[in-house]
Homo-oligomer: A and B are copies of this chain.
Amino acid sequence: MSSKITLRFDLGEERRIGHGKIALLEAIGATGSISAAGRQYGMSYRRAWLLVEELNGMFDEPVVATRNGGRNGGGAELTPRGQRLVRVYREAEAMVAQQARSSLREVERWLAEPAAEAPTA
């Protein structure tokens, strides 16, 4: 079943954290690279970099630290703040998935046609 509930933290002043940014952070943590993480989501390096800059500027401490090599080289990793952000978001999401399951199931029953797998070719 592909249905799910995703969360967005609206922190005022255009500061938003949702599913996409959290997934990018997780991929940076897993790959050690902003460009590799972006590629996982079909994102250009520039787009991934801008999202990281936005996130780093949002808080009083950065969530991603980059190591030597500058914009196009070197590696990247989540700071403790970044790791905590991902954990807080995922925990809230899991709690919500649990709590709001019946809401989602009700809406799902109304769908025009049963959800089908995407064609493979």
**Residues on A close to B: CB < 8 A?**
1-13, 15, 17-19, 57-61, 81, 85, 88-89, 91-92, 95-96, 99-100, 103-104, 106-108, 110-112, 115-116, 118
Q: Which of B11, B19, B89 contacts A3 (CB 8 A)?
A: B11
Inter-subunit contact A58/B112 (CB<8 Å)? yes
Nearest CB on B from A41, distance (A): 15
| Given A5-B7, A9-B3: A88 and B107 interface contact (C-beta under 8 Å) | yes
Which B residues lie within 8 Å of A96 (CB)? 7, 96, 99-100
8 A–B contacts from the bound complex (CB under 8 Å): A3-B9, A5-B9, A7-B96, A9-B107, A11-B108, A11-B111, A88-B103, A99-B99
* Smallest CB gap from A100: residue in B: B92
Known contacts A3-B9, A5-B10, then 5 further A-B pairs from the complex at CB < 8 Å, ordered by chain A residue: A2-B13, A11-B111, A58-B111, A59-B111, A60-B111
Nearest CB on B from A52, distance (A): 15
* Smallest CB gap from A108: residue in B: B11
Expressed in whole angstroms, the Cα–Cα distance for A112 and B104 within the complex equals 35
Q: Which of B59, B89, B111, B115 contacts A110 (CB 8 A)?
A: B59
